[in-house]
Structure 1
Amino acid sequence: MGRWEPDARGRLAKAALALYAERGYEQTTVAEIAKRAGLTERTFFRHYADKREVLFAGAGELEDLFVRAVAGAPRAAVPLDALTAGLDAVAGMFADRRDFACRRQAVITANAELRERELIKLASLGAALAETLRGRGVAEPAASLAAEAAVAVFKVAFERWIAPDEERSMQLLIRESLAELRAVAAGA
Protein backbone atom coordinates (compact mmCIF):
# COMPACT_ATOMS: atom_id res chain seq x y z
CA MET A 1 0.00 0.00 0.00
CA GLY A 2 1.21 3.47 -0.77
CA ARG A 3 1.42 6.25 1.76
CA TRP A 4 -1.21 8.22 -0.16
CA GLU A 5 -3.99 5.79 0.70
CA PRO A 6 -6.53 7.22 3.12
CA ASP A 7 -6.91 6.58 6.84
CA ALA A 8 -3.30 5.90 7.72
CA ARG A 9 -4.11 6.52 11.40
CA GLY A 10 -6.95 4.00 11.37
CA ARG A 11 -4.89 1.42 9.52
CA LEU A 12 -2.07 1.82 12.05
CA ALA A 13 -4.48 1.40 14.96
CA LYS A 14 -5.99 -1.75 13.44
CA ALA A 15 -2.57 -3.20 12.69
CA ALA A 16 -1.31 -2.43 16.19
CA LEU A 17 -4.32 -4.01 17.87
CA ALA A 18 -4.05 -7.13 15.72
CA LEU A 19 -0.34 -7.49 16.49
CA TYR A 20 -0.81 -6.81 20.20
CA ALA A 21 -3.42 -9.58 20.29
CA GLU A 22 -1.27 -12.00 18.29
CA ARG A 23 2.16 -11.35 19.78
CA GLY A 24 1.59 -9.27 22.89
CA TYR A 25 2.13 -5.57 23.42
CA GLU A 26 5.72 -5.86 24.63
CA GLN A 27 6.82 -8.11 21.77
CA THR A 28 5.39 -5.86 19.05
CA THR A 29 7.57 -3.17 17.46
CA VAL A 30 6.63 0.04 15.70
CA ALA A 31 8.31 -1.30 12.56
CA GLU A 32 6.01 -4.34 12.60
CA ILE A 33 2.93 -2.17 13.09
CA ALA A 34 3.88 0.11 10.20
CA LYS A 35 4.66 -2.85 7.95
CA ARG A 36 1.33 -4.55 8.76
CA ALA A 37 -0.47 -1.30 7.93
CA GLY A 38 1.46 -0.94 4.68
CA LEU A 39 3.12 2.27 5.89
CA THR A 40 6.51 3.48 7.01
CA GLU A 41 7.77 3.97 10.55
CA ARG A 42 8.03 7.66 9.78
CA THR A 43 4.30 7.72 9.01
CA PHE A 44 3.63 5.92 12.28
CA PHE A 45 5.46 8.63 14.22
CA ARG A 46 3.53 11.34 12.40
CA HIS A 47 0.38 9.93 13.98
CA TYR A 48 1.54 8.51 17.31
CA ALA A 49 4.33 9.40 19.74
CA ASP A 50 4.92 5.72 20.55
CA LYS A 51 3.24 2.34 20.33
CA ARG A 52 1.44 2.90 23.63
CA GLU A 53 -0.36 5.97 22.31
CA VAL A 54 -2.13 3.89 19.66
CA LEU A 55 -4.27 2.64 22.55
CA PHE A 56 -4.78 6.04 24.20
CA ALA A 57 -5.02 8.39 21.24
CA GLY A 58 -8.68 9.24 21.91
CA ALA A 59 -8.19 10.11 25.59
CA GLY A 60 -7.67 13.81 24.98
CA GLU A 61 -10.70 14.00 22.69
CA LEU A 62 -12.84 12.20 25.27
CA GLU A 63 -11.67 14.53 28.05
CA ASP A 64 -12.25 17.64 25.92
CA LEU A 65 -15.74 16.53 24.93
CA PHE A 66 -16.64 15.67 28.52
CA VAL A 67 -15.33 18.99 29.88
CA ARG A 68 -17.05 21.06 27.15
CA ALA A 69 -20.39 19.37 27.82
CA VAL A 70 -20.12 19.93 31.58
CA ALA A 71 -19.07 23.56 31.06
CA GLY A 72 -21.96 24.06 28.63
CA ALA A 73 -24.63 22.61 30.91
CA PRO A 74 -27.31 25.08 32.03
CA ARG A 75 -26.02 27.38 34.79
CA ALA A 76 -28.82 26.24 37.10
CA ALA A 77 -27.79 22.58 36.80
CA VAL A 78 -26.56 20.97 40.00
CA PRO A 79 -23.12 19.31 39.72
CA LEU A 80 -24.40 15.80 39.07
CA ASP A 81 -26.77 17.04 36.37
CA ALA A 82 -23.95 18.99 34.68
CA LEU A 83 -21.80 15.85 34.80
CA THR A 84 -24.69 13.85 33.34
CA ALA A 85 -24.55 16.15 30.30
CA GLY A 86 -20.87 15.22 29.99
CA LEU A 87 -21.54 11.52 30.39
CA ASP A 88 -24.23 11.68 27.69
CA ALA A 89 -21.84 13.49 25.35
CA VAL A 90 -19.03 10.95 25.70
CA ALA A 91 -21.39 7.99 25.35
CA GLY A 92 -21.79 8.93 21.71
CA MET A 93 -18.06 8.39 21.11
CA PHE A 94 -18.56 4.69 21.69
CA ALA A 95 -21.27 4.02 19.14
CA ASP A 96 -20.10 1.33 16.71
CA ARG A 97 -16.75 0.96 18.52
CA ARG A 98 -17.50 -1.94 20.85
CA ASP A 99 -15.29 -4.48 19.05
CA PHE A 100 -12.33 -2.09 19.04
CA ALA A 101 -12.94 -1.19 22.70
CA CYS A 102 -13.06 -4.85 23.74
CA ARG A 103 -9.83 -5.71 21.93
CA ARG A 104 -8.14 -2.55 23.23
CA GLN A 105 -9.15 -3.31 26.82
CA ALA A 106 -7.87 -6.89 26.56
CA VAL A 107 -4.43 -5.55 25.57
CA ILE A 108 -4.47 -3.01 28.40
CA THR A 109 -5.58 -5.56 30.99
CA ALA A 110 -2.71 -7.88 30.03
CA ASN A 111 0.01 -5.26 30.64
CA ALA A 112 0.83 -3.47 33.92
CA GLU A 113 2.35 -0.43 32.17
CA LEU A 114 -0.81 0.02 30.12
CA ARG A 115 -3.08 -0.44 33.15
CA GLU A 116 -1.09 2.31 34.86
CA ARG A 117 -1.51 4.58 31.82
CA GLU A 118 -5.26 3.92 31.89
CA LEU A 119 -5.41 4.96 35.55
CA ILE A 120 -3.47 8.13 34.76
CA LYS A 121 -5.94 8.90 31.99
CA LEU A 122 -8.87 8.50 34.38
CA ALA A 123 -7.15 10.64 37.04
CA SER A 124 -6.58 13.38 34.46
CA LEU A 125 -10.24 13.22 33.48
CA GLY A 126 -11.33 13.52 37.13
CA ALA A 127 -9.04 16.51 37.70
CA ALA A 128 -10.30 18.26 34.54
CA LEU A 129 -13.92 17.69 35.52
CA ALA A 130 -13.32 18.97 39.06
CA GLU A 131 -11.67 22.09 37.65
CA THR A 132 -14.63 22.61 35.32
CA LEU A 133 -17.06 22.31 38.21
CA ARG A 134 -15.02 24.79 40.25
CA GLY A 135 -15.25 27.12 37.25
CA ARG A 136 -19.02 26.75 37.48
CA GLY A 137 -18.90 27.88 41.12
CA VAL A 138 -18.98 24.48 42.82
CA ALA A 139 -16.94 24.59 46.03
CA GLU A 140 -14.57 21.92 47.30
CA PRO A 141 -14.83 19.15 48.25
CA ALA A 142 -18.10 18.90 46.33
CA ALA A 143 -16.42 19.57 42.96
CA SER A 144 -13.84 16.81 43.43
CA LEU A 145 -16.33 14.34 44.88
CA ALA A 146 -18.81 14.87 42.05
CA ALA A 147 -16.09 14.65 39.39
CA GLU A 148 -14.70 11.41 40.81
CA ALA A 149 -18.22 10.00 41.01
CA ALA A 150 -18.74 10.78 37.32
CA VAL A 151 -15.47 9.05 36.43
CA ALA A 152 -16.58 6.03 38.47
CA VAL A 153 -19.92 5.97 36.64
CA PHE A 154 -18.08 6.11 33.32
CA LYS A 155 -15.65 3.35 34.35
CA VAL A 156 -18.35 1.01 35.65
CA ALA A 157 -20.53 1.54 32.57
CA PHE A 158 -17.55 0.93 30.27
CA GLU A 159 -16.63 -2.31 32.06
CA ARG A 160 -20.22 -3.51 31.79
CA TRP A 161 -20.38 -2.47 28.11
CA ILE A 162 -17.35 -4.56 27.11
CA ALA A 163 -18.56 -7.65 28.98
CA PRO A 164 -18.83 -10.63 26.58
CA ASP A 165 -22.62 -11.01 26.56
CA GLU A 166 -23.54 -7.33 26.85
CA GLU A 167 -25.67 -5.94 24.05
CA ARG A 168 -26.94 -2.68 25.51
CA SER A 169 -25.55 0.67 24.41
CA MET A 170 -22.90 2.58 26.31
CA GLN A 171 -25.39 5.41 26.81
CA LEU A 172 -27.95 3.09 28.41
CA LEU A 173 -25.31 1.57 30.69
CA ILE A 174 -24.09 5.03 31.71
CA ARG A 175 -27.66 6.00 32.57
CA GLU A 176 -28.15 2.78 34.58
CA SER A 177 -24.87 3.28 36.44
CA LEU A 178 -25.79 6.89 37.17
CA ALA A 179 -29.16 5.78 38.54
CA GLU A 180 -27.36 3.27 40.78
CA LEU A 181 -25.06 6.01 42.07
CA ARG A 182 -28.04 8.26 42.81
CA ALA A 183 -29.75 5.39 44.65
CA VAL A 184 -26.62 4.70 46.72
CA ALA A 185 -26.26 8.39 47.55
CA ALA A 186 -29.92 8.58 48.55
CA GLY A 187 -29.48 5.59 50.84
CA ALA A 188 -31.74 3.30 48.85
Structure 2
Amino acid sequence: MARWEPGARERLIVAAVDLFAEQGYDSTTVAQIAERAGVTKSTFFRHFPDKRELLAAGQETLSRLLAEGITEAPAGATPLEAVAAGLQRASDAMGPLNREIGPRLKAAVAASTELQERDALKSVSMAAAMTAALTARGVPGAAAALAGELGLLAFKRGYAEWADTDADHGLAHYTLAALSELRAATATLG
Protein backbone atom coordinates (compact mmCIF):
# COMPACT_ATOMS: atom_id res chain seq x y z
CA MET A 1 0.00 0.00 0.00
CA ALA A 2 1.41 3.38 -0.98
CA ARG A 3 2.14 5.80 1.84
CA TRP A 4 0.07 8.56 0.23
CA GLU A 5 -1.95 8.69 -2.95
CA PRO A 6 -4.29 11.50 -3.93
CA GLY A 7 -8.01 10.86 -4.06
CA ALA A 8 -8.31 8.80 -0.87
CA ARG A 9 -11.69 10.32 0.01
CA GLU A 10 -13.15 9.49 -3.39
CA ARG A 11 -11.67 5.98 -3.34
CA LEU A 12 -13.18 5.39 0.09
CA ILE A 13 -16.61 6.46 -1.14
CA VAL A 14 -16.44 4.22 -4.22
CA ALA A 15 -15.13 1.28 -2.18
CA ALA A 16 -17.90 1.67 0.40
CA VAL A 17 -20.67 1.94 -2.18
CA ASP A 18 -19.36 -1.11 -4.00
CA LEU A 19 -19.09 -3.15 -0.82
CA PHE A 20 -22.50 -2.04 0.42
CA ALA A 21 -24.00 -3.11 -2.91
CA GLU A 22 -22.08 -6.43 -2.96
CA GLN A 23 -22.50 -7.63 0.60
CA GLY A 24 -24.85 -5.22 2.32
CA TYR A 25 -24.28 -2.30 4.63
CA ASP A 26 -24.43 -4.28 7.86
CA SER A 27 -21.90 -6.87 6.65
CA THR A 28 -19.37 -4.27 5.52
CA THR A 29 -16.66 -3.17 7.94
CA VAL A 30 -14.51 -0.08 7.99
CA ALA A 31 -11.45 -2.33 7.60
CA GLN A 32 -12.89 -3.82 4.40
CA ILE A 33 -13.66 -0.37 3.00
CA ALA A 34 -10.15 0.87 3.78
CA GLU A 35 -8.56 -2.23 2.28
CA ARG A 36 -10.63 -1.96 -0.93
CA ALA A 37 -9.71 1.72 -1.21
CA GLY A 38 -6.02 0.98 -0.67
CA VAL A 39 -5.71 3.03 2.51
CA THR A 40 -5.34 2.38 6.22
CA LYS A 41 -8.13 2.46 8.79
CA SER A 42 -6.61 5.61 10.25
CA THR A 43 -6.89 7.27 6.83
CA PHE A 44 -10.54 6.25 6.73
CA PHE A 45 -11.12 7.92 10.10
CA ARG A 46 -9.32 11.10 8.99
CA HIS A 47 -12.02 11.47 6.34
CA PHE A 48 -15.12 10.00 8.00
CA PRO A 49 -16.21 9.40 11.61
CA ASP A 50 -17.96 6.14 10.67
CA LYS A 51 -19.12 4.14 7.66
CA ARG A 52 -22.60 5.68 7.67
CA GLU A 53 -21.14 9.13 7.08
CA LEU A 54 -19.61 7.95 3.80
CA LEU A 55 -23.01 8.27 2.21
CA ALA A 56 -23.41 11.78 3.52
CA ALA A 57 -20.12 12.79 1.92
CA GLY A 58 -20.63 16.10 0.26
CA GLN A 59 -24.05 16.72 1.83
CA GLU A 60 -22.99 20.00 3.43
CA THR A 61 -21.37 21.09 0.19
CA LEU A 62 -24.45 20.20 -1.84
CA SER A 63 -26.76 22.07 0.54
CA ARG A 64 -24.40 25.06 0.50
CA LEU A 65 -24.26 25.13 -3.30
CA LEU A 66 -28.05 24.95 -3.57
CA ALA A 67 -28.40 27.83 -1.09
CA GLU A 68 -25.68 29.92 -2.76
CA GLY A 69 -27.32 29.55 -6.15
CA ILE A 70 -30.63 30.70 -4.70
CA THR A 71 -29.00 33.60 -2.87
CA GLU A 72 -27.17 34.75 -6.00
CA ALA A 73 -30.20 34.51 -8.31
CA PRO A 74 -31.25 37.85 -9.83
CA ALA A 75 -33.23 40.12 -7.49
CA GLY A 76 -36.45 39.83 -9.52
CA ALA A 77 -36.36 36.03 -9.77
CA THR A 78 -39.46 34.15 -8.71
CA PRO A 79 -38.99 31.54 -5.98
CA LEU A 80 -38.81 28.71 -8.56
CA GLU A 81 -36.44 30.70 -10.76
CA ALA A 82 -34.21 31.10 -7.70
CA VAL A 83 -34.49 27.35 -7.02
CA ALA A 84 -33.49 26.73 -10.65
CA ALA A 85 -30.38 28.85 -10.05
CA GLY A 86 -29.58 26.72 -7.01
CA LEU A 87 -30.10 23.51 -8.96
CA GLN A 88 -27.85 24.80 -11.73
CA ARG A 89 -25.08 25.67 -9.29
CA ALA A 90 -25.21 22.37 -7.41
CA SER A 91 -25.60 20.30 -10.57
CA ASP A 92 -22.60 21.93 -12.21
CA ALA A 93 -20.46 20.71 -9.29
CA MET A 94 -21.43 17.06 -9.82
CA GLY A 95 -19.01 15.12 -11.96
CA PRO A 96 -18.44 11.67 -13.42
CA LEU A 97 -17.82 10.04 -10.03
CA ASN A 98 -21.24 11.18 -8.80
CA ARG A 99 -22.84 9.76 -11.92
CA GLU A 100 -20.90 6.51 -11.78
CA ILE A 101 -21.84 5.60 -8.24
CA GLY A 102 -25.49 6.71 -8.48
CA PRO A 103 -27.10 3.36 -9.36
CA ARG A 104 -24.94 1.43 -6.86
CA LEU A 105 -25.66 3.95 -4.14
CA LYS A 106 -29.39 3.71 -4.83
CA ALA A 107 -29.24 -0.08 -4.50
CA ALA A 108 -27.25 0.10 -1.27
CA VAL A 109 -29.70 2.58 0.27
CA ALA A 110 -32.70 0.50 -0.82
CA ALA A 111 -31.24 -2.55 0.95
CA SER A 112 -30.62 -0.90 4.34
CA THR A 113 -33.07 0.71 6.75
CA GLU A 114 -30.25 2.62 8.40
CA LEU A 115 -29.12 4.06 5.07
CA GLN A 116 -32.70 4.94 4.16
CA GLU A 117 -32.95 6.91 7.40
CA ARG A 118 -29.65 8.68 6.63
CA ASP A 119 -30.85 9.46 3.11
CA ALA A 120 -34.08 10.92 4.50
CA LEU A 121 -32.08 13.19 6.82
CA LYS A 122 -29.99 14.30 3.87
CA SER A 123 -33.15 15.18 1.96
CA VAL A 124 -34.51 17.19 4.88
CA SER A 125 -31.22 19.09 5.11
CA MET A 126 -31.21 19.94 1.41
CA ALA A 127 -34.82 21.16 1.45
CA ALA A 128 -34.15 23.19 4.62
CA ALA A 129 -31.12 24.86 3.02
CA MET A 130 -33.18 25.90 0.00
CA THR A 131 -36.09 27.05 2.17
CA ALA A 132 -33.79 29.15 4.36
CA ALA A 133 -32.16 30.76 1.31
CA LEU A 134 -35.58 31.57 -0.14
CA THR A 135 -36.80 32.99 3.18
CA ALA A 136 -33.69 35.19 3.29
CA ARG A 137 -34.73 36.51 -0.14
CA GLY A 138 -38.07 37.55 1.37
CA VAL A 139 -40.18 34.65 0.12
CA PRO A 140 -43.01 33.99 2.62
CA GLY A 141 -42.68 30.83 4.75
CA ALA A 142 -45.18 28.50 3.07
CA ALA A 143 -44.08 29.48 -0.44
CA ALA A 144 -40.40 29.12 0.52
CA ALA A 145 -41.04 25.68 2.01
CA LEU A 146 -43.00 24.51 -1.04
CA ALA A 147 -40.35 25.82 -3.45
CA GLY A 148 -37.60 24.16 -1.37
CA GLU A 149 -39.43 20.82 -1.43
CA LEU A 150 -40.00 21.12 -5.19
CA GLY A 151 -36.31 21.86 -5.59
CA LEU A 152 -35.42 18.75 -3.60
CA LEU A 153 -37.80 16.60 -5.65
CA ALA A 154 -36.41 18.04 -8.89
CA PHE A 155 -32.86 17.31 -7.76
CA LYS A 156 -33.68 13.72 -6.82
CA ARG A 157 -35.64 13.04 -10.01
CA GLY A 158 -33.01 14.68 -12.19
CA TYR A 159 -30.15 12.87 -10.49
CA ALA A 160 -31.88 9.49 -10.86
CA GLU A 161 -32.43 10.04 -14.57
CA TRP A 162 -28.90 11.37 -15.11
CA ALA A 163 -27.34 8.40 -13.32
CA ASP A 164 -29.39 5.94 -15.38
CA THR A 165 -28.61 7.34 -18.82
CA ASP A 166 -25.64 7.37 -21.17
CA ALA A 167 -26.52 10.74 -22.69
CA ASP A 168 -23.87 13.45 -22.81
CA HIS A 169 -25.98 16.00 -20.93
CA GLY A 170 -24.81 17.25 -17.57
CA LEU A 171 -26.86 16.89 -14.41
CA ALA A 172 -28.26 20.42 -14.70
CA HIS A 173 -30.11 19.42 -17.88
CA TYR A 174 -32.01 16.78 -15.90
CA THR A 175 -32.63 18.71 -12.68
CA LEU A 176 -33.91 21.77 -14.53
CA ALA A 177 -36.14 19.61 -16.76
CA ALA A 178 -37.51 17.90 -13.64
CA LEU A 179 -38.22 21.29 -12.04
CA SER A 180 -40.02 22.40 -15.18
CA GLU A 181 -42.15 19.23 -15.15
CA LEU A 182 -42.99 19.72 -11.48
CA ARG A 183 -43.91 23.35 -12.07
CA ALA A 184 -46.28 22.26 -14.84
CA ALA A 185 -47.72 19.51 -12.62
CA THR A 186 -48.52 21.98 -9.83
CA ALA A 187 -50.69 23.93 -12.27
CA THR A 188 -52.92 20.86 -12.68
CA LEU A 189 -53.53 20.46 -8.95
CA GLY A 190 -56.23 23.13 -8.87
TM-score scaled to structure 2, two decimals?
A: 0.90
**Cα deviation, residue 84, structure 1:** 0.5
- The corresponding residue for 1:19 is 19
1:46 alignment counterpart? 46
What stretches of structure 2 of length at least 5 have no aligned partner? none
How far apart are the structure 1 equivalents of 2:12 and 2:188?
Answer: 48
In the other structure, the counterpart of 1:135 is 136
C-alpha contact (below 8 Å) 1:126/1:148 kept by paired residues? yes
Structure-1-length-normalised TM-score: 0.91
**Aligned Cα RMSD in Å?**
1.8
How far residue 166 of structure 1 moved from its aligned partner, in angstroms, is 5.7
Structure with the bigger RCO (C-alpha within 8 Å, sep 6+) is 2
Tell me if structure 1 keeps the 8 A contact 2:59–2:122: yes
Tell me the equivalent position of 1:79.
Answer: 79
Amino acid at match of 1:54: L
Checking the alignment, whether the CA contact within 8 Å between 2:150 and 2:179 is kept in structure 1 is no
Check whether the contact 1:160–1:166 (CA below 8 A) recurs between aligned residues.
Answer: no
Aligned equivalent of 1:90: 90
Q: Which amino acid aligns with 2:90?
A: V
DSSP-derived class of the 1:94 partner: coil
Deviation digits for residues 85-137 of structure 1 (CA, Å, limit 9, x no counterpart)? 00111122333232212212211111111111111111111112111111111
Give the letter aligned to residue 129 of structure 1.
M
In the alignment of these two chains, the number of paired residues is 187
> What is the match of residue 144 of structure 1?
145
Distance 1:161 1:11 in 2: 22
Residues 166/116 of structure 1: CA separation in 2 closer, same or farther (3 Å cut): farther
Matched, 1:106 2:107: yes
Q: Which amino acid aligns with 2:101?
A: F
In the other structure, the counterpart of 1:33 is 33
Over 6 Å off, 4+ runs = none
Paired position in structure 1 for 2:61: 61
Question: Which range moves more in the overlay, 6-15 or 24-33?
Answer: 6-15
Q: Distance in 2 between matches of 1:64 and 1:119?
A: 18
Identity within the alignment, %: 42
- Give the whole-Å Cα distance in 1 for the aligned partners of 2:160 and 2:31: 32
1:182 counterpart residue number: 183
Helix, strand or coil for the counterpart of 1:3? Answer: coil
Preserved contact between residue 102 and residue 160 of structure 2 (Cα < 8 Å): no
Given residue 178 of structure 2, which amino acid in structure 1 is its aligned partner?
S
